[in-house]
Amino acid sequence: MHIESTLPGRWWRTAAAIALCCWGLVGGAAAQTRQLERVVAIVDDDIILASEYQDRLRQVTENLQRQQIEMPPQEVLARQVLDRLILERIQLRMGDRAGVRISDEQLNEALANMARQNGVTLEQFRARLESEGSSYAAVREQVRQEMILSRVQQGNVRSRVQVTEQEVDDYLASEEGQKRTAALYHIGHLLLPLAKDATMEQERAAMAYMEGLRSRLATGDAFERFMRAPEKTPYAFTGGDLGWRLAGDLPSVFLEAVPALGTGAISAPLRSASGLHLVKLFEKRGGSGQMTQQTRVRHILIKPSEVRSDAQAQQLAEQLRARLLAGEDFAKLAREFSEDIGSAREGGELGWTNPGQMVPEFEQAMNQTGAGEISAPVRSSFGWHVLQVEERRTQDLSDEMTRNQARNILFGQKYDDELNTWLQKIRDEAFVEIKI
């Protein structure tokens, strides 16, 4: 979320950081108990207490200091924090009236994702929070509120944002569009140092060694392991992971070789003034020749509910799988039992899917299921799925992916603008009385 750019002079650059701190989890938990105390703001039929306000201001201050971000004047920061709390309260009330609810299951999945993004388990994440003096229960509630806010915002703003094909065309023709949608390459390399004045015999011997090494490192993660810890060889290797690079930012010696590589491929030895290189393309984004394996899949979704436990949902999914294996019609059972309303009407059809399009658990099961086969029930954040892989194909989606990338960039820009407009509107329409 962006803070309205009403800050004077140089302080506008800290607005985004302040917003992240307001909405984020880095700081400590809010006060757990509320005593009779001073009210700092009345928002419609709700109030903001001094303890809430001071806790949030402390969190934001600590986070800005931790991130070494220049602090705005205290009075500016304080007003921004209070304004953020007011906007939160307005949106949470809107969510409550609209019946927006976040289940414990959805909340647990969100927290598990946060833990994974930080490279830890949920248990380790919890322990880290508590070691820093934060209450895990309070953090859970804060995440729940943030999820509600996100749903309220998307529900009110998303439908207002439209991106036309002409806008996509214009963006792709612009300098910014061409740069932001250009091919990106994630590469690593190994360098066998070789002097410029090496003899022809030394050069031939080194080249032969690199060709043999290339063959040995061509499977699995052998290249990555060798890159991290080269084995004992007649030669001393250097190199490493070069990260994501635009084609124009590649070292000149790699410029022709890298774009011609397929994902996972290793180049022939490349000679530079420094020696001989082997380059591996780990991954590619954008550009031409974006070959993607697509899967056509259908599923039946069974959701736990207040009247059906998770175990009962799993049991029903297993029963349906048994009936499918016995020859019953998938589309008929999907229309009768599936609780994915959108796909149920189509006999469970989800159409052609791209990598990363489905939730991880579903995608893993899909990838492990052969064409024409029916999976065992798999649990995701949505419930229990029984899926069938109908067929697979490899498609060149370069143009489509580039246009989608441009469309997403434009949508994000418009969404931010529309969100700020909407936030100002609901703020103006609400009854707000500030007491400080």
- Structural domain boundaries of the chain? 9-160+415-434, 183-285, 291-395
Write the CB contacts of 111 (distance below 8 Å, at least 6 apart in sequence).
122, 125, 140, 143
Predicted pLDDT at 180: 83
- The domain 9-160+415-434 having CATH identifier 1.10.4030.10: the answer here is yes
pLDDT tier, 331 (very low <50, low <70, confident <90, very high otherwise): very high
Predicted pLDDT at 36: 58
The string of pLDDT tens digits covering residues 292-309 is 889 999 999 999 988 999
Whether the model clears a pTM of 0.85, i.e. scores above it, the answer is: no
Decide if 274 contacts 298 (C-beta within 8 A). no
Q: At the top level of CATH, which class does the domain 183-285 belong to?
A: alpha beta
- The domain 291-395 having CATH identifier 1.10.760.10: the answer here is no
Task: Please check whether the two domains, 183-285 and 291-395, share a CATH topology.
Answer: yes
Residue 129 pLDDT > 90, yes or no?
no
* Average pLDDT over every residue of 212-241: 87
The string of pLDDT tens digits covering residues 358-406 is 988 999 999 999 999 999 999 998 899 999 999 999 877 678 878 888 9
Predicted pLDDT at 200: 92
Predicted pLDDT at 409: 93
With pLDDT > 70 as the criterion, what percentage of the chain qualifies?
A: 91
Instruction: Give the type of residue at 41.
Output: A
The string of pLDDT tens digits covering residues 85-111 is 999 999 999 999 999 999 888 898 889
Residue 78 pLDDT > 60, yes or no?
yes
* Average pLDDT over every residue of 182-186: 87
Residue 32 pLDDT > 70, yes or no?
no
Residue 9 pLDDT > 50, yes or no?
no
